[in-house]
Amino acid sequence: MRFIHLTDMHITANDQPLYGLSPRSRLEAAIACINQDFADVAFVMMTGDLVNRGTVAEYEALRATLKDLQAPHYLLLGNHDGRDAFRQVFAEVPVDENGFVQYAFTVEDKRFIVMDTLNEGEVGGLLCEQRLNWLAGELEALSGQDAFLFIHHPPLRLEGGEALAEMIGGGRIKHLFFGHVHRPLHGSWRGIPISSQHSTLHQFVYTFGSSIMQGCHEPPTFAAVNMVNGNVVINPHSYLDDSPRFNLRSKAAMRAASPEELPPLE
């Protein structure tokens, strides 16, 4: 089974540019690539900051863009999102008994859990007691299924993260996927495998010691997540990369002195 992890689209109303880029066009390019080159995926997961200001108009623009995506897709909220506005436009997305946008679904024999870490008005995320209690019920109901968790905020910077680690450690969650950081990060947290991807829009530049939060136009990625025989293999795909393609077994390609001298693929 394979699915796509896509994150931090920051869609605006009327395609208002952000940092010199079109959020809608960048998402449209990702959708076109998924439809053409990843038509076999089971679903697409979008891990928050779906829109930039959390308005109804932005969610309407997002819905209009997603109509072209041919794969099933699932949404969760990030700190740029607005829970009430989201629910007005995406009323079909499940919520828990407390109104948090969190739910679970099954594909083949695997369980996927989607959690709401939005703390309205704050950049940082929150998992309150109500949300964690909901998760406890989902974990109790697993009955031996492999389970995977989606959140927006990185767990190590999440209020409630310590309690989350205690709940999902020991192999209860096989992998945790998140967004927010606009970077492809892969590693482990409290022994739990974790990963994030680039934003579809702008990226963060990590410059230690600088007082300026820097951004850049580094090409975006989404992750093609392959699940085979209990393994999770993540392939970040740079869907806007337009660098030349060449035959690695071609002696002429090996001897090319510059990209311009590379022979075309035959």
SS3 194: strand
Q: Domain count of the chain?
A: 1
For residue 207, the model assigns a pLDDT of 76
Tell me, yes or no, whether 66 lies in a domain: yes
Tell me, yes or no, whether 80 lies in a domain: yes
Q: Which two tokens stand for residue 74?
A: 């699932």
For residue 143, the model assigns a pLDDT of 82
**What CA–CA distance (Å, rounded) separates 37 from 194?**
25
Integer angstrom CA distances of residue 169 from 28, 156, 163, 179: 37, 14, 10, 20
pLDDT tens for the 266 residues of the chain, in order: 999 999 999 999 999 999 999 999 999 999 999 999 999 999 999 999 999 999 999 999 999 999 999 999 999 999 999 999 999 999 999 999 999 999 999 999 899 999 999 999 999 999 999 999 999 999 999 988 889 999 999 999 899 999 999 999 988 899 999 999 999 999 999 999 999 999 999 998 887 777 788 899 999 999 999 998 889 999 999 999 988 999 999 999 999 999 999 998 87
Tell me, yes or no, whether 266 lies in a domain: no
**What CA–CA distance (Å, rounded) separates 8 from 25?**
14
For residue 213, the model assigns a pLDDT of 82
Tell me, yes or no, whether 115 lies in a domain: yes
For residue 229, the model assigns a pLDDT of 87
For residue 247, the model assigns a pLDDT of 92
Strand bridging mode 110-114 / 146-150: parallel
Tell me, yes or no, whether 123 lies in a domain: yes
Looking at the chain, list the stretches that DSSP marks H as alpha helix, in order from N- to C-terminal side: 23-37, 56-66, 83-89, 129-140, 161-168, 251-255
Phi-psi sector, 28: left (phi>0), alpha (psi -120 to 50), beta: alpha
**What CA–CA distance (Å, rounded) separates 214 from 153?**
19
Tell me, yes or no, whether 155 lies in a domain: yes
For residue 66, the model assigns a pLDDT of 98
pTM over the 0.85 mark:
yes
Strand bridging mode 110-114 / 103-107: antiparallel
For CA atoms 257, 258, 264, 266, the dihedral sign is positive
The CATH number that applies at residue 34 is 3.60.21.10
Tell me, yes or no, whether 231 lies in a domain: yes
For residue 145, the model assigns a pLDDT of 86
What are residue 71's phi and psi, to 5 degrees? Answer: -90, 150
Tell me, yes or no, whether 205 lies in a domain: yes
For residue 123, the model assigns a pLDDT of 95
- Domain range for 14: 2-261
Q: DSSP letter at 249? A: T
For residue 117, the model assigns a pLDDT of 98
For residue 62, the model assigns a pLDDT of 98
